């Protein structure tokens, strides 16, 4: 999430929300997070997937409790500028419109080849029919599209960050 820094003369400039002044941070907390203050300003703001529909569907799985694992292809994330997960990291998950839906904390992050993803990881993602076969088919298609988008090569040896997380707050709930 970025905000406009109007103090930058002569025009405006964009800066990450984590670097904004106290007044802007408090405004973000009140208007976007419904008054919930994350345990730190060092937050990453992002959405799941590569389409608004997917972002909204996966954010919903987080808020209803079905999704507690996500996976990112490290090379594609580096090319796109997507933050790399780390243990203890605080993240604001947005929907397909960019509105915050949940605040989560990464509890475990490990790097593993695509072919070594476990059935427990697949179940934790909470997607599809929860089977390994369904996960593999959908994620191969997704990562192949990412490979084409970022001029990468995808195969079973690419490194994924497998991130387990806990939900600290669902925006709109007390």
Q: For residues 164, 105, 42 and 91, what is the CA-based torsion angle, rounded to 10 degrees?
A: 70
Count CB-CB contacts under 10 A for residue 114: 18
Same-domain pairing of 42 and 24: no
Same-domain pairing of 57 and 126: yes
Same-domain pairing of 79 and 149: yes
Same-domain pairing of 26 and 85: no
Please give the tally of structural domains in the chain. 2
Same-domain pairing of 26 and 37: no
Same-domain pairing of 41 and 23: no
Q: What is the CATH number of the domain that holds 81?
A: 3.10.400.10
Give residue-wise pLDDT tens across range 129-165: 999 999 999 999 999 999 999 999 999 999 999 999 9
Same-domain pairing of 138 and 99: yes
d(CA 145, CA 14): 29
Give residue-wise pLDDT tens across range 40-50: 999 999 999 88
- Whether residue 115 is predicted with pLDDT greater than 50 in this model: the reply is yes
Which pTM was predicted? Answer: 0.87
Same-domain pairing of 62 and 3: no
Domain that holds residue 17: 1-32
Give residue-wise pLDDT tens across range 15-36: 778 888 899 899 999 999 999 9
The percentage of the chain sitting over the pLDDT mark of 70, rounded to a whole number, equals: 92
């Amino acid at each position: 999430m970025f905000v406009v820094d109007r103090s930058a003369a002569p025009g405006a400039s964009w800066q990450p929300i984590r670097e904004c002044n106290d007044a802007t941070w408090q405004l973000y907390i009140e208007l976007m997070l419904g008054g919930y203050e994350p345990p730190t300003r060092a937050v990453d703001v992002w959405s799941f997937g590569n389409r608004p529909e997917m972002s909204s569907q996966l954010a919903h799985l987080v808020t209803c409790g079905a999704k507690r694992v996500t996976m990112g292809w490290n090379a594609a994330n580096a090319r796109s500028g997507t933050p790399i997960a780390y243990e203890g990291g605080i993240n604001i998950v947005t929907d397909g419109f960019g509105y915050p839906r949940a605040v989560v904390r990464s509890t475990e992050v490990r790097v593993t080849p695509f072919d070594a993803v476990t059935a427990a990881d697949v179940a934790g993602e909470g997607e599809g029919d929860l089977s390994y076969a369904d996960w593999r088919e959908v994620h191969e298609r997704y990562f192949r599209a990412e490979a084409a988008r970022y001029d990468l090569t995808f195969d079973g040896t690419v490194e994924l960050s497998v991130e387990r997380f806990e939900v600290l707050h669902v925006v709109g709930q007390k």
